[in-house]
Chain A
Amino acid sequence: MTTAQLVSSAPAIRTTSLQCGTYLSTDLAATRRMLEEVLDLECVRYAPRSLYVRERGHRPGEPLAGKPYLVLEVHEVDAIPNPQAFLNHWGVFVATQSDVDRAYATIVANKERYGIPIVQKPKANHGAYSFYFADADSNWWEVEHRIHKKQYESLRAIGDVV
């Protein structure tokens, strides 16, 4: 790999937030059931074949109200034109390593019910403990826990290591 030095600290485009990521589903109802009943995410069908998805807790009066959040935008299509792979996944965080193990066991036990064809075993990697699974449309998910100094905001504070 070649190197490329950063030459400017002021960005050319002054973006204010990374708002949203998008992906596809061939069965929006099944996708929603998995997101709500398995991963505990909040969904709203904002158009007949489209969902917005976010973590819970951002409604008025809830603990995260007013704080920024990422939205996933899911569109229903008849066929997936570009199947996704392991390195294009979405991650959800859980509070403890034991929660990862519990999540793995419960997803394995319910994978037929939610149309989950692939569930990999948990493993430790770079301060994270996690496992991956794929849905029926090749969208991959990671359920992870990280020790404090390896959590994303901690890493931002530490800065570059390489």
Chain B
Amino acid sequence: MTALVPNTWLSHGTIECKNPPKSRRFYQEVLGLGSVRPLPAAQYLWNGGRWSLVCVGIGVDTKPQGPENRFRLRVDTAAEVEAARETALRLQSEHDIREIGPLEVKAGVHAFMLRDLDANWWEISNVPAEHYDEAFLRGDVAV
């Protein structure tokens, strides 16, 4: 069956921020994202691949997100996840990080979540790069 809108690719997701330059400092200097600001009210973020995260500056407080709507960033090792959490705690005040969750370990994957200055949620984990390839190759689990 041919899809109604064939041959698409995922190009972007979108988040809100109040103050683009201030949030950009956090994305770039803390989270390690690439960023470019082609418009006064928008900056585009990336970290690997052609996919971008569009951050729209709205000039007022953002609509708070829940952790169920978050973005996952990868670091290479479990030790780096733990170090990243320590770093986030150290920089929490400087970058107005609202919340930093506990370190969690599931099936060998270390992870923690943080809620940034605009109430957007980020997860930092060491999910292996091949994890998703393997999941797609395995196919659906039985339900």
Contacts and interface: CB of A to CB of B under 8 A. Distances in A.
Contacts of B25: 4-7
Interface string A18-42: 1111111000000000001111111
B84 A24 contact: no
A92 B5 contact: yes
A88 B68 contact: no
A54 B37 contact: no
B interface, over-half SS? mixed
Nearest to B126: A16
**Residue of B8, B28, B32, B91 contacting most chain A CB atoms (<10 Å):** B8
Given A12-B87, A45-B143, A23 B68 contact: yes
A156 B87 CA distance: 27
Given A19-B74, A152-B11, A155-B36, 18 more contacts: A12-B30, A15-B47, A17-B74, A20-B127, A21-B72, A23-B69, A40-B5, A45-B141, A52-B132, A70-B51, A88-B16, A90-B13, A92-B5, A93-B8, A142-B12, A152-B12, A152-B44, A152-B52
Interface of B: 1, 3-16, 18-22, 24-25, 28-34, 36-40, 42, 44-54, 56-59, 63-66, 68-76, 80, 84, 87-88, 91, 124, 127, 129, 132-133, 135-141, 143
Interface of A: 1-8, 11-24, 36-42, 44-48, 52, 54-55, 57-60, 67-73, 75, 77, 81-82, 84-85, 87-95, 99, 102-103, 106-107, 110, 126, 142-144, 152-153, 155-156, 158-162
